[in-house]
Structure 1
Amino acid sequence: MSEVYMMVTITDWKEAAVDFLEFYQANHVDANMVTLGRGTANSEMLDYLGLEESEKTVILSVVTGEVWKTLKKGLRQQFKIDIPGTGIAFTVPVSSIGGKRELLFLLDNQNFEKGEETVLKDTAHELLIVIANQGYNEMVMAAARSAGAAGGTVLHARGTGMKRAEKFFGVSLVSEKELILIVTKTENKNAIMQAVMQQAGMDTKAKAIIFSLPVTDTAGLRLVEEEEADE
């Protein structure tokens, strides 16, 4: 996968979030996942950064490299995102997406030509992100475990641009979503993604979409690896 990124935007929960989403949609980024967060910095750090302790919006979007360049320019000029307290946006390279229809759905209206599969070479682990209908995380995790996944983390989110799904999948999608985060060895990635697509994908009630991000380093997985080495 060439020049495809997950863009993460963190800003204030109320007014700014709507403005950011409208800006992204005006620039052809229609499929966004929105969830709630809260800052954890202490008061001294908040004062230093010009931030207030408040609820935050976390927006996850999949964008091409060219679209990110346009968005970055607009975020700086229109939203003054470089000014402390305004928010932050950053990108992480996507290494693969489960299925052509899912790719077209996530990148609709963004010019994209498929290139080499991975952006970062020789990464030992991958972060799998699954977007599924609310209430079906157990179905997703059962599929993932059948292919060797150890566990996952579930976040509640709201999707935008879901009405476009019928164009790509022939079905409508609900807005209430669950994000399931799974860290796995790179060598197991394809099997887990295929299992999720087959057992909890668009032909099931879960309507799951899955993509992966390369992980450059990890901590906390050593015991699992040691157990595997002992087998």
Structure 2
Amino acid sequence: MKYLRIITNRSKGSKFMQQLQAYGAKYISCLLAEGSANDHILEVLGINKERKEIVSALVNDSLVKDLLDKLSDKFDKKNTSIMFTTPIDKKGEINMEYEALYVIVDKSNADRVIDISQKHGARGATIVHGRGSGIQKKSVFLNMVIEPEKDIVIMLIKKDIAEKIKSALYDSLELNQDSNGILFSLPVSDVRGLVDQK
């Protein structure tokens, strides 16, 4: 069994969800997210985030390759949508070319995560907004507990630059301190639609 994620432009998620269901995928869901823009024109206009959706599903191993090939035909051009899978039932050493890096930080630090990662070779990133429920400071306003806003930054990075990026993030964001954030990575077994990283 593999956990499939498709990061695509906003409004395309429903179409991918229908196709996944038709191809036999299970437990299909969709999250709203933002992507870091790599386009120089967008930067000049002051737009540094693109509206994205993350579609996820569980897919049987026997269906993965065929399903990814069929779905990748739907991509307009490289790096507008990416698909990747993570094995969920593998044991032992997994030798893959890419890792899915997840960094959970306070909302104010998401752009720093992207900047640090890109300086060390990462290309794009996708941000999912959320709230924390750990031991962080919580505020009370009109008898309501206000939980701190968090961002989950997701990046696909080549394995050969992964340690350099993780170390830079760990040191720069002081992730050894309580409540500064969490960093973890998962192996990626299949990738489609990703621009090569140097």
TM-score category of the 2 structures, normalised to the smaller one: 0.3 to 0.5
Structure with the higher helix share, 1 or 2: 1
Task: State the TM-score, normalizing by the size of structure 2.
Answer: 0.47
